[in-house]
Structure 1
Amino acid sequence: MRELMPGLAIAASAALVAWLAHLAMPAVPILTAAVALGILVGQVPALQPALAGRLAPGLQLAARRLLRLGIVLLGLKLSLVDIAGLGWITILTTIAVVVLTFAGTIGLGRALGLPGHQPVLVASGFAICGASAIGAMGATVRARDEEQAVPVALVTLCGTLAIAVLPALWHPLGLSATGFGHWVGAGVHDVGQVVATAQLAGPAALAVAVVVKLTRVLMLAPMVAITAAVERRRAIEPAGPHPPIVPLFIAGFLAAVLLNSFVPLPEWLLTGADVVQTAFLATALFALGASIRVVELVHTGWRALVVGLTSWVLVAALAYGAVLLG
């Protein structure tokens, strides 16, 4: 605990700062603020030795364990009843957006020669649910924190851009308020970014956006399971044991979804779980952000930037098509 506490304390304090920033500027999602703060801290030369030294054990614990716990609690936000209320056309088109964006991004990432697990991590972030999905997929494929850093930076950048860009396109594209909410839910990455963007069109648009977005979040479980199965087939025995087909935290996520869908949980429990989930994810995403080195990203990450921006355009275009079909 002596080794873990300094890093955990710093990450938790940063999560609190991100929450205060959100209170001061509600348009800035807490998780986006946490990642951005981590990235800023990671660029300070005087702090880098501590981040890589005595703070590293606690930051690594936050980036892995707390992130997984946050994803489990994220399941309590989902209700299969609410998702079913969207109708089959909306559900199927939302699934299609996720699958096509995921496959297209992986293909582009491999074509441009992104190293290691970066193609699947970038695809997870843009297709499913932002930095949370990157952390979940990274845990499944056993990606290093350094591999996750670039995808987290990209999804944070593009998700923040979406908060400004999508509302500007709302009326030119001829979308109704609920159509705009559908587009935002299907095309923006992080749940907080979805809320920040869709709320501009009113409560009806926000309600549609959140349910569509949570439908995408539900796709985290099958996409992780499929990826884990592929990794098992590729794994070589001397390199270590096979990754589980369904990681334990993904099973916990599914259990939380089923619990919230079929058991009448008290509002105070759901509210408390939401606060804890946000705290865990903000702490974890600060830790991931602190591992990013922008100088290295500028010199070596142009291919990842091309993939990220292309994936952002792809998911927005597919989401717009889904709105038209719906």
Structure 2
Amino acid sequence: MVLIAALVLGVLVGGRLPDLAPITRRLLRAGVVLLGLQLSLPQLLALGPGILLAAVVTVGVTFAGTVWLGRCLGLPRGLCVLVAGGFSICGASAIAAVASERDEEHVATGVALVTLFGTLTMIALPLLGASPEWIGLSVHEVAQVAAAAPAGGLATAMAVKLSRVALLAPVAALANRRRGPVVPLFLLGFLAMVAVRSADLLPPAAVDVARTSTTVLFAAAMFGLGTAVRPKSLLATGPRALLLGLLATLLVCSVGYLSLRVV
């Protein structure tokens, strides 16, 4: 909710501030780098090959399916890719990683969609009696997974969610292969932070500070993105974008459930 509040505040003051796009881009990428400190290889390996395969299938099918659905709805390719990244991997941070400079006009829409439908999923899945594994495979944001998971299954749900986060670098590299370096530098930084966490080079207190810093960076970036939002342009794609968000949510939840049944 902190991120969406920052985004809304930015929208409210939009037009009264200078162009914040350059600093916003840096804040987003710095947040993605620090996000790597929330993930370690031992966490992933402890899940077992079946769950890891389910995560790969869920992310891959959701990403490709969302892009296809968005194109069928006549939405811009840039918006489709951002929504696909956010819904299949880890919300706003994935949108930041997948976005190129030409997509920045769509970032605010993507973040709003992933926050709205992630919140609805966070509420609906526990009511359906979802397992921690299903919650980890289906809910969009890391924080939303923490809120949706039962106390006894929180560690499992978070580990499964982080297995999706681990796919951030390859998916972002694939999405950007026609628009820039094969692996952007900030994604290499993300992988480096994963290696640091995996090697247990930082004390727990430092990891906690990094987690808080990540939230602050993303919140500041969301504010900057909000200042660039033009309500008229959002209204032009609003109904179709909302439909894409709904369909993408149903897709990730369905694929996550079925992949767990198969493995």
State the TM-score, normalized to the length of structure 1: 0.76
User: For residue 212 of structure 2, what is the aligned residue in structure 1?
Assistant: 275
Q: Where in structure 1 are there 5+ consecutive unaligned residues?
A: 1-31, 233-242
Identify if the C-alpha distance between structure 1 residues 197 and 294 changes in structure 2 by more than 3 Å, giving closer, same or farther. Answer: farther
**Within the alignment, does 1:304 sit opposite 2:241 as a pair?**
yes
User: For residue 162 of structure 2, what is the aligned residue in structure 1?
Assistant: 214
**Within the alignment, does 1:78 sit opposite 2:56 as a pair?**
no
**Whole-angstrom CA distance in 2 between matches of 1:259 and 1:79:** 8
RMSD: 1.8
**Within the alignment, does 1:147 sit opposite 2:106 as a pair?**
yes
Q: Which has the larger displacement, 82-91 or 107-116?
A: 107-116
**Within the alignment, does 1:317 sit opposite 2:254 as a pair?**
yes
User: For residue 143 of structure 2, what is the aligned residue in structure 1?
Assistant: 192
Q: Deviations over 1:22-79 (max 9, x none)?
A: xxxxxxxxxx32223422551x4xx3330xx43x33xx24421111111111101101
Taking every aligned residue pair, what percent have the same amino acid on both sides? 43
Q: Deviations over 1:291-310 (max 9, x none)?
A: 33455433432222111110
Which structure 1 residue ranges, 4+ long, deviate > 3 Å from structure 2? 289-296
- Structure of greater Rg: 1
Q: Where does 1:258-297 land on structure 2 (aligned, <5 Å)?
A: 258-294=195-231, 296-297=233-234
Secondary structure of 2:183's aligned partner: coil
User: For residue 24 of structure 1, what is the aligned residue in structure 2?
Assistant: none
The counterpart of 2:61, out of the listed 97, 100, 103, is: 100
Secondary structure of 1:285's aligned partner: helix
User: For residue 133 of structure 2, what is the aligned residue in structure 1?
Assistant: 182
Question: Which structure carries more relative contact order (alpha carbon 8 Å, separation 6+)?
Answer: 2
Secondary structure of 2:34's aligned partner: helix
What letter is aligned with 1:49? G
Tell me, yes or no, if the aligned pair for 1:68 and 1:249 is still in contact at 8 Å.
yes
Secondary structure of 2:47's aligned partner: coil
Q: Where in structure 2 are there 5+ consecutive unaligned residues?
A: none
Tell me, yes or no, if the aligned pair for 2:38 and 2:194 is still in contact at 8 Å.
yes
Secondary structure of 1:292's aligned partner: coil
The counterpart of 2:5, out of the listed 24, 36, 42, is: 36
Tell me, yes or no, if the aligned pair for 1:97 and 1:319 is still in contact at 8 Å.
yes
**Whole-angstrom CA distance in 1 between matches of 2:84 and 2:24:** 19
User: For residue 48 of structure 1, what is the aligned residue in structure 2?
Assistant: 14
Identify if the C-alpha distance between structure 1 residues 41 and 76 changes in structure 2 by more than 3 Å, giving closer, same or farther. Answer: closer
**Whole-angstrom CA distance in 1 between matches of 2:114 and 2:191:** 24
**Whole-angstrom CA distance in 1 between matches of 2:56 and 2:15:** 44
**Whole-angstrom CA distance in 1 between matches of 2:77 and 2:101:** 11
The counterpart of 1:157, out of the listed 110, 116, 124, is: 116
State the TM-score, normalized to the length of structure 2: 0.93
Secondary structure of 1:113's aligned partner: coil
